Each structure stands twice: as C-alpha cells, then as structure tokens.
Amino acid sequence: MGFLTDAEKDALSIRRMIFHVVGKDLEEPTLLPEIAPPQEPAFFVGRVRSALSGNLFAFREGSAVEAALRGIAGGGDFTAGTQALARDFHTRHRTGTSNGAFLVFELDVGAEVPIYALVKYDHDEVVRYLLGAAQPRLERLQEAFVKKPEAMQKIALVRLAPGGGGHVMVRDRSKRTHISEYFEGFLNARRVNEPGDLSGKFVEAVKAAYKKHKDELSADMQAGGVNRLYDVLRQGGRHYDPENREPLLAALFGALPENAPIRGTIERELRDRGLAEESFEIDPERVQKPRKRVLETQEGVMVLFDEAHRPTETDMPDGRKRIEILTVGILRDDVDTEDRSRRR
C-alpha cells in the first residue's frame, strides 16, 4: 500500500501554508508569516502530487519535527511552530547548499488527521517577458518557484500516528536511493525498509511477474528468463527508481510494449511488498541465485542439475542437440508422480 491511498490523492488540498527563506548566504533564516488564505494552491498541490513517491521512514523517539507538527496539529501556533522548524533546518543546511525556501503545508486528504509536507525549494533564476509596450521588456527573477522537478530538492510527507510516532515519506534529489545525512538528522527518522530487504523483495516480485507472463515474453526469456533475472541483478550497479524504472525493466525482460500485461503485474507485485514508491540500490549480496537449474526439452525431458554437474550439449548437423550426462551411478529410475503442470 502506498503512503496515500488513491482516494486521499484525489482529495489532496492545502489547508494552510507558509514558507521561510534559508541557505548558506544567510546568517539567520528569513522568517515569514503564514500565507492565509493559501495562494496559488493549484500550483503547489501539483508540486506535491508530482512527488508522491519516495522512501519510507519512521520518526525516532524525541524527533523535534514530530513534536513541532504534533503541536500544530493539536491547535498550536502554526507560524511559531514552522519558524522553529526553519531555524533548525537552516542550522543544518548551511554548508555548500543553495539558497531557497523552506515550505510547510498542512494538507487535507479527506481524513480526520491532516498530512504535513516539508519542502526545500531551491531558488532558480528565470527571465520573464512583458508585452504591451513599444517593445518587449525582459525581467530577471532570482527568487521564484518553478515547475521543474529539480527545483524541489527535498520533500517529506508526514503522517502522524495516534499517540506518538509517525511515518515520513522522503524524496531527496541529492540522494535518491536514501536520504542526505543532514536531512535525516533534521527529521530524526530511520528508514523502515532496510535496503538489503528491499533487494530480496524486489527479486521475488519480478520472479512472480515473470512466472505469470512467461508465455507472453520472447523465446529467449521463456527458455532462460529466471537465470537472466538473477544474472542482471547480481551484476551490481543496478537501482530501482519508481520515476525511471524503464532501464531496469529493459535489462531484466527486454523491450516491453507500453501495454504489456506484465507491466501491471510488476506494479501490483511491488506494491504488495511495499516497494512501488521506494528508491534503492540493488544489493547483489542479497540476490542469492538458486543452486539448482532445470533443463527442459521440447520432447518433455527434464534434467535438474547444479552448475558443477551441467550436462554436455552438442549441436547436431540437423539442428538438434545431443545432451549427455556422465554419472557414477543412477539413484532413481521410477514413475514421476509429482504434478509439474503448475510450474510451467
């Protein structure tokens, strides 16, 4: 299940908003009052919607962010609470970082308890043009909110749990597969899913999708698809990014049509395992390839073996293959009573 349900995503709206200016060029953050009522809600809801995937964290005990947001949710001063958060963020954010705005949104998702969004938006230089005079006039703006995804450097969506704690969905563009050290310290949160566990769950998800749609894939994938999945994921340097999953899917399954049914199955399998919105490096050490392999011929002959005892294959002039097994003795020669139809 995702951080927000489909119904909550549809209901998403801004109740309250505020921003403060932070960055390396400021000795102290510029603290501003609440923007009431919220201005340009469609623009900012669109920015939040564009970031509804990320890595799941949980607050550690004593998190100042949790305490501040819980105070606001309980009727505390919205402006004072967010200013305290901005001061803390600014203190951690000083070295080697861009100037920008630290925004806090209280979001309505159709539930009793609101969701909070904490966003670091980098300042971006833009040039706008003004028409109507004798000639167009150009004007440079250095403090502007723009639509491009790169400008929204960090976003944390917070769902407070009743009584204490809560979950945080984090997207950090400086470290997509995890979170930057200072942002993790600011939130005082730990990752819910260990990266190694994510790798193992990912293998199970793509294997399940492969087995369901094996007959729809290319001949090469039908013949050795599971082996290919393991070989690709054990290479190292692979990562899963829900915003850009195509390179990994192509490496695993080959080119897939946009309407390929396996795409929907992969999405469901990942979602069922809590992976669909996570970004993570694939850990080859957690992708353990099974020792046993199976070789099956068109005549229905099946051979189960490990790599140390692989049968010898020889290409024949007529296109057939000769398969030879060298053994010190036969242990079993009996009628096969196992139902193998569900494996194929």
Rounded mean pLDDT, 6-12: 91
Residue 85 near residue 92, CB atoms below 8 Å: no
Rounded mean pLDDT, 281-297: 81
pLDDT band at residue 232, thresholds of 50, 70 and 90? very high
Q: Would you say residue 168 has pLDDT above 90?
A: yes
Percent of the chain residues past pLDDT 90, beyond the cut? 42
186-225, pLDDT tens digit by residue? Answer: 999 998 888 778 999 999 999 999 999 999 999 889 888 8
Distance, CA of 102 to CA of 330 (rounded, Å): 72
- Range with lowest mean pLDDT among 75-79, 80-84, 153-157: 153-157
21-30, pLDDT tens digit by residue? Answer: 898 888 889 9
Mean pLDDT across the chain, nearest whole number?
A: 86
Place of tokens 């790798």: 199
Rounded mean pLDDT, 38-55: 87
pLDDT at 1: 54
pLDDT at 342: 46
Tally Cβ neighbours within 10 Å of residue 245: 18
Within 8 A by CB and 6+ apart from 118, the residues are 65, 85, 102, 103, 104, 154, 155, 156, 158
Q: Which of 178, 198, 176, 196 is nearest to 187 (CA)?
A: 178
Rounded mean pLDDT, 270-299: 84
pLDDT at 149: 67
Query: Is the pTM higher than 0.95?
Result: no
Distance, CA of 121 to CA of 143 (rounded, Å): 10
Question: Within the chain, what is the greatest distance between any pair of CA atoms?
Answer: 97
* Neighbour-count burial of 220, counting CB atoms closer than 10 A to its CB (0-12 exposed, 13-18 middle, 19+ buried): exposed
**DSSP class of residue 259?**
T
